[in-house]
Chain A
Amino acid sequence: MRSEDPELWRWRRAAPVRGRDRLFLAALIGAGLLSTVRFADWWFAPAHVAVAPLYVLLSLAIWYGVSRMVLGWIGLLAIRRPKHRPAPEGLRVAIFTTSSPGEPLAMFEKTLAACARIRYPHTTYLLDDTEDPRFREVAERHGAEWLELVGLPGAKAGKINAALECTDEDFILVLDPDHIPFPGFLDRVLGHFDDPEVGFVQVCQAYHNQARSFTARGAAEQTYAFYGPTQMGLFGHGGTVAIGANCTFRREALDSIGGHGIGLAEDLVTSIRLHAAGWRSVYVPEVVSRGLVPEDIGSFYRQQLKWARGVFEVLFSELPRAFGRLSWRQRLTYLTIGTYYLFGLTTLIYLAIPYLYLWTGVQPASMAFVEFIIVGGPVAALGAAIYLYSQRWLCHPAMERGLHWRGLALKVGSWPVYLAGTVLAVLRAEIAYVPTAKEARRGRFFQLGWPHLALAALYLVTVGWTAYRRLYLAPEGMLFLTSEAVWGMISFASLAVLLVGGAIHAAWEARSLPSEAPWDGVDPDLIGEQSSDPARRTAQRESSTP
């Protein structure tokens, strides 16, 4: 679907959670847990240890992945969709959106025009440090207040905090400038602030440019489940996480923690501090805005590096401080999020194992491949089944459903970036805060793809050398007995290269990307109005059911 497709601009809401869905999901998860227990019992048999240090590494990599999956399942058990609450009249609401030097003016035209169409009475503020008079002109043309906030530390969050000082609305929607809000946005979220303990309301983050490149599609695929079933599960557990964009805060809540958090992962910092201060959070699984996802692999890597570094920073410095004041489920949530980018390290371990064996003959574990398939297969199969089943709670299933192999390929392909983030965090090395690019940037193929090209080259050399060695050099007495292990490892290496091939493709694609801006085709008149008024329609529907 292209950005101009009216289907994208309809208001959407994740499916309700019915009793039987929950029952079936619980059964699947139960089966998954049982097969995981069996897998663990098998995996940790002492007879499987071949080279102890390597076995430990491999076990950590495998069980890091499996335990994250299991935590995800446990999250899903609490899946919940909040009941809509109509927004009361008379709330004082501000929308903050920020502009930085280099960001395209045309994007602000769309965003500010859309803000002006948001139905609930509000004031839009443009927090501007471009020192470009045209931004002021655009803001004023669309009825937004222009605040010049130049030279503040703390990037986006610094500007937000400065703007909090000079405004006095009770509720603040922080909207990323690449996100085009629907007219019903505020009507869908403000009602939840009826509960005085609610500190922030997060909505789905959806995109309109994912069809424009392999990278955009893969990057979007990585987020679909998170903004559907995952966040609904976190909400059920009392720990919806605030994501920088599209989050509406209660001013009192932000004041209680001394303003918006600052840092590369400022959203996560804010989220933790608010939860630690006792504020509750609500997740509204609805598409009430659409924004941009990185279209070129270079921007994607820069965004991922920023997040990896930032999230680890939170893990090291923010989480320990707040730990005592969080509920145990929130602790688990933030620990899980905080360790997400260890994926780079575990991927490196996975990648290295076949080469280690093929070049040195060292194998970390002595396991029968057949047994591994039989015992590990059900865990993988149930994991996939649960992932696919929970897709019924995606915010826009018709578009978002699928195996998300592009997302997986990009995730595996990002391992050098994640690893860099891990290392930088451990070394406490700083990286600069740069807003994620809003337009596709061309990149050099080799510059973006070299780790993967190096892997592919290593793979080809290894396969060639292995074939040559087996054909001409391997002693006869070993040939038959090592055949299973050698070709098993080659298959394993092939799978990895195939996945990384996605990232190579993305680097190739980045040489030439569409030059027209993604927001050009968006017609503000279409937005959210297509299927009549979402706010009113659902308000009616919900009030008609007892």
Chain B
Amino acid sequence: MKRIHRILLAAIAVIASIAIVLGLVSLGTASQGPISTVLQHVTSGVSGLESRIVHAFRGPGRRAELTWLEPFREHPDSLRRPDRLMLGAYDDGIPNTLEGLIALERALDVTFPFIQTYTAWGDERRQRFPNRIVEAIHDLGSIPVVTWEPWLATFESRLHPHLPLRDDRDRNGLASVARGDYDFYIREWAGDAAQFGEPLLLRFAHEMNDPYRYPWGPQHNEPEDFVAAWRHVVEMFRSEGATNVVWVWSPHTAYGGYEAYWPGDDYVDWVGTGALNYGTVAYWSEWWSFHEIFGQHYDALAGFGKPIMLAEFGSLAVGGDRAAWYDEALRGFRDRYPAVHAILFFHVEHDDTVTRQALDWSLLDEPQVLETLKAALASEGMDTKEEAR
């Protein structure tokens, strides 16, 4: 073989091998290899195919009750400026089953356009982008709302030697996020969210102004570091092409001072907050009405000029009349709070995140509360069925 031929052959071999490597890499997502990605496509494909077949036999099912939501599901931008009030819920069967959520829907005679799930940051598989559950929510015709909690200390030091030791991570953790220390995780998540492709509301680092509850609160971080971290995360999603993600900025109204945490108009699509009545379960709590919890902050929240989401809405039964609480909250709601465009029930049977004793936010055992709620939702025109008609 002539020298020129040899050189050519060698060059072709080099180019071909580079092409093979790049081809394989491009098959995968940010952190998943090509085989995982292909297998994930296979399983998603099987589930999707089965769903289509089943719906061909049974009729469209739940999705038919949400046909009015289709424009929102097709264009994330319309989700940024909604002209309707969306109901939704989180149920603690999620992400393993949506049956509890559907049971709540039946009891209330509504079909939720929004379904919420929670995921924490970390190395484990369940801390990756929650592909299965958001696909399942989409398959049911709804739009997923994902609350994404930056528990920085869950990452294993062994796997991430560049991070500070676990005990030191939370102090100024958000500055560390803003600096890019956690890009390895954020990028993967953003890539997977972009791959999902359907609209998705993302509520990142909620209640950032609460100094007691979460490590990303002001006890460890300065407000400007929160803002920097938020912007860094949003920018990373945008650079990964995750334009399907709609951003929900979600302070805690009880602690005030949240204006300092505002990341700016261009970085936020919704303003969210919780409205949970803990009744008399704890020394720091008493029976507050919905208007006491939320009403006094409404104007301030509406002032950000974004649609408002009540991301966690509910009352315990301890210390007052639960049915009356819901009734009072919802009567005349639209007129009082026109900027609120989403109410998400916090439907959790065992909530041990706040108190030592598990709290029961579930409604299914209380027919009277359910009846009251059902009536209030219907009379306020919040049951989406009304709108569908």
Contact = CB atoms under 8 A, between A and B. Distances in A.
A484 interface: yes
Contact of A483 (B35, B51, B100, B133): B51
A472 B96 CA distance: 21
Interface in B31-69: 33, 35-36, 39-40, 43, 46-47, 50-51, 53-54, 57-58, 61-62
Nearest to B135: A480
A480 B102 contact: no
Contacts of B154: none
B139 interface: yes
Given A369-B43, A470-B54, A481 B133 contact: yes
B165 to A, nearest CB: 23
Contact of A480 (B36, B39, B136): B136
Interface in A368-421: 368-371, 373-374
A310 B96 CA distance: 49
A487 B39 contact: no
A311 B99 CA distance: 52
A480 B140 contact: yes
A234 B97 CA distance: 53
B32 to A, nearest CB: 9
Interface in A317-368: 368
Interface string A466-483: 000011101111111101
Which has the most chain A C-beta neighbours within 10 Å: B50, B53, B96? Answer: B50
A188 B35 CA distance: 52
A476 B125 contact: no
Interface residues of A, number: 21
A471 B57 contact: yes
B98 interface: yes
B132 interface: yes
A107 to B, nearest CB: 54
Contacts of A474: 54
A477 B104 CA distance: 12
B54 A471 contact: yes
B79 interface: no
A476 B96 contact: no
B125 A481 contact: no
Nearest to B125: A368
A370 B125 CA distance: 11
A427 interface: no
A371 B125 CA distance: 10
A471 B53 contact: yes
A47 interface: yes
Nearest to A371: B125
B124 A47 contact: yes
A434 B36 CA distance: 53
B47 A478 contact: no
Contact of A374 (B35, B43, B47, B102): B35
A480 B132 CA distance: 8
B101 interface: yes
Interface string B65-103: 000000000000000000000000000000111111110
A476 B62 contact: yes
Contacts of A374: 33, 35-36, 39
A516 B97 CA distance: 63
Contact of A475 (B36, B50, B102, B135): B102
Contact of A370 (B36, B61, B62): B36
Given A370-B40, A471-B58, A487-B50, A478 B99 contact: yes
B50 A477 contact: no
Interface in A451-476: 470-472, 474-476
Given A368-B125, A370-B36, A471-B58, A481 B97 contact: yes
A150 to B, nearest CB: 66
A370 B99 contact: no
A479 B43 contact: no
Contacts of B133: 481
Contacts of B40: 370
Given A370-B39, A487-B46, A487-B50, A477 B58 contact: no
A481 B46 CA distance: 11
Contacts of B62: 476
A476 B47 contact: no
Contact of B132 (A472, A475, A481): A481
Given A370-B36, A370-B39, A370-B40, A479 B96 contact: no
Which has the most chain B C-beta neighbours within 10 Å: A369, A374, A472, A479? Answer: A479
B95 to A, nearest CB: 8
Interface in B124-172: 124-125, 132-133, 135-136, 139-140
Given A479-B50, A479-B54, A483-B46, 7 more contacts: A371-B125, A474-B54, A476-B61, A477-B102, A480-B47, A480-B132, A483-B43
Interface of A: 47, 368-371, 373-374, 470-472, 474-481, 483-484, 487
Interface of B: 33, 35-36, 39-40, 43, 46-47, 50-51, 53-54, 57-58, 61-62, 95-102, 124-125, 132-133, 135-136, 139-140
